[in-house]
Amino acid sequence: MLEQSMKSFFMFLSQNKAMNHAAKKWGLKFGASQVVAGQTIDNAILKVKELNEKGLTCTVDHLGEFVESKEEAMESTEYCIKSIETIAESKVDCNLSLKMTQLGLDISYEFCLENMRRILNSANKHNIFVRIDMEDYAHCQQTLDMLAELRKEYNNVGTVIQAYLHRAEKDIEDLNGVPLRLVKGAYKESPEVAYQDKNKIDENYFRIIKQHLTNGSYTAIASHDHTIIEKVKKFVKENNIPKDLFEFQMLYGFRTNLQLQLVQEGYIVRVYVPFGKDWFGYFMRRMAERPQNVAFAVRGLTSK
């Protein structure tokens, strides 16, 4: 009960616009610097280089939420393009992840679509893959509709499917052949659209992993769950699925020893490296996912 209350509390904070806006002025606080790689793309690239040297590949994400004006969305679009150009200039092994609400999805679908085209044109020029992060359920269908539109023109784009949604299995079926990141899900959703029981979410998660892998589609398994990872390793071995058809993904600052262990075992491991001034919502969701992560915040408050 206490853990559920803490999860709800952190999810409430993650969606609080006033707190998010205030956090932009604070700098990285409460231990956030342990899981957010600085406030600029240059900060993030330094971390990416360190991770590449250890055999890890990466994806960077310029954090941003609650974009309310076209000016803000245009700034985010320009920063995504700048990030792509910096990745290319630095010659690091890295992709780009982004959220479409940051690019104006809540302002205008067509406006966001045009921003996405600009980003993908730059990414295509530099042979960089772009991952559209899945947000809350309210944006799920819009995200998939836009992905379908973009896939008519670009091959270097994919998205994320969340296992806690009842629709996940059908979405995987519809997205056969599309590179997907598969996750359990990090937003608070109603029982009408999402599983609430952890065991059911875990079961569905492994089910859609097997489904996409069996389809022969490139699959990114984004999880820190050791049990899930071991089940995937067993499944791909038993079904002769080559290691270059999938990768494990983990968050920057989490399970670093496990990341390196998987690399030593010959698996592709990609680290999700977030950066930016708009860090608060992301950090609060990490607290909500695993309340034991509060240790990050405690250390941040007590350290000098």
- pLDDT higher than 80, residue 294: no
d(C-alpha 222, C-alpha 182), whole Å: 6
Of 118, 56, 38, 27, which is closest to residue 257 (Cα–Cα)? 56
d(C-alpha 99, C-alpha 91), whole Å: 24
Residue 136 lies in a domain: yes
Residue indicated by tokens 């590449």: 52
Q: Indicate if the alpha-carbon torsion angle 258, 263, 57, 210 is positive or negative.
A: negative
In SS3 terms, 225-291 reads as: CHHHHHHHHHHHHHCCCCHHHEEEEEECCCCHHHHHHHHHCCCCEEEEEEECCCCHHHHHHHHHHCH
Q: How confident is the model at residue 24 (pLDDT cuts 50, 70, 90)?
A: low
Q: In the prediction, which pLDDT does 77 show?
A: 97
Number of domains in the chain: 1
Residues 6+ apart with CB under 8 A from 171: 144, 161, 165
Q: In the prediction, which pLDDT does 47 show?
A: 96
Residue 202 lies in a domain: yes
- For the chain, percent of residues with pLDDT exceeding 70: 79
Residue 240 lies in a domain: yes
Q: Give tens-digit pLDDT for 257-275.
A: 999 999 999 999 999 999 9
CATH code of the domain in which 87 resides: 3.20.20.220
To the nearest whole number, what is the mean pLDDT of the chain? 87
Residue 170 lies in a domain: yes
Evaluate whether 180 touches 160 at the Cβ level (below 8 Å): yes
Catalytic residue among 133, 171, 202, 278: 133
Residue 164 lies in a domain: yes
Q: Is position 145 annotated as part of the catalytic site? A: no
Residue indicated by tokens 């302002």: 107
Q: In the prediction, which pLDDT does 92 show?
A: 98
d(C-alpha 70, C-alpha 66), whole Å: 12
Evaluate whether 87 touches 128 at the Cβ level (below 8 Å): yes
Q: Strand runs (DSSP E) across the chain, as ranges?
A: 57-62, 94-98, 130-132, 157-162, 180-183, 219-222, 246-251, 269-275
Q: How confident is the model at residue 298 (pLDDT cuts 50, 70, 90)?
A: very low
Residue 8 lies in a domain: no
What is the span of the domain harbouring residue 204?
37-278
Catalytic residue among 61, 131, 171, 181: 181
Residue 72 lies in a domain: yes
Residue 27 lies in a domain: no
Q: In the prediction, which pLDDT does 67 show?
A: 81
Q: Give tens-digit pLDDT for 90-111.
A: 999 999 999 999 999 999 999 9
Q: Is position 131 annotated as part of the catalytic site? A: no
